[in-house]
Amino acid sequence: MFNAPPPLSLDSHQLYLEIPESLQMSEQAHSTPGAYQRAEINQLCFQAFLPWFREEFDSSAQVYPNTAALPSFWEIVNGTTISFDSSGLVLIPTLAMDGDELRVQQEWVDIPGWAADYYIAVQVNSEDGWIKILGYTTHHDLKTKGIYDFTDRTYSLDSEDLIQDLNVLWVNRQLNYTETLQAQITPLASIPQTQAYQLLKRLGNCDLKFPRLAVPFSVWGALIAHGGWREKLYELRQGLPEQWSIPQWLQTGVTNLAQQWGWKKRELVMVPTGMRSVEAVIGLSRQLIIAGNTYELRIFPTSNPENQIWRFELQSATPGNQIPIGFKLRLLTEDLQPFENNQDTAITPVDRLSVEVILEPKEGLVWEIEPRADGWEREVLQF
Contact 332, 365 (CB under 8 A): yes
Q: Which of 94-103, 154-163, 347-356 has the lowest mean pLDDT?
A: 94-103
pLDDT tens per residue, range 225-246: 999 999 999 999 999 999 999 9
Half-sphere exposure of residue 202, counting CA atoms within 13 Å on the CB side? 14
Query: So what's the pLDDT on residue 153?
Result: 98
What are the structural domain ranges in the chain?
15-174, 193-238, 246-382
Which pTM value belongs to this model? 0.92
Strand segments (E) across the chain: 15-18, 62-64, 80-84, 87-94, 101-105, 118-125, 130-138, 147-149, 154-158, 264-270, 279-290, 293-301, 309-316, 328-333, 343-345, 352-358, 364-370, 381-382
**Confidence label for 128 from pLDDT (cuts 50, 70 and 90):** very high
Report the percent of the chain where pLDDT is more than 90: 82
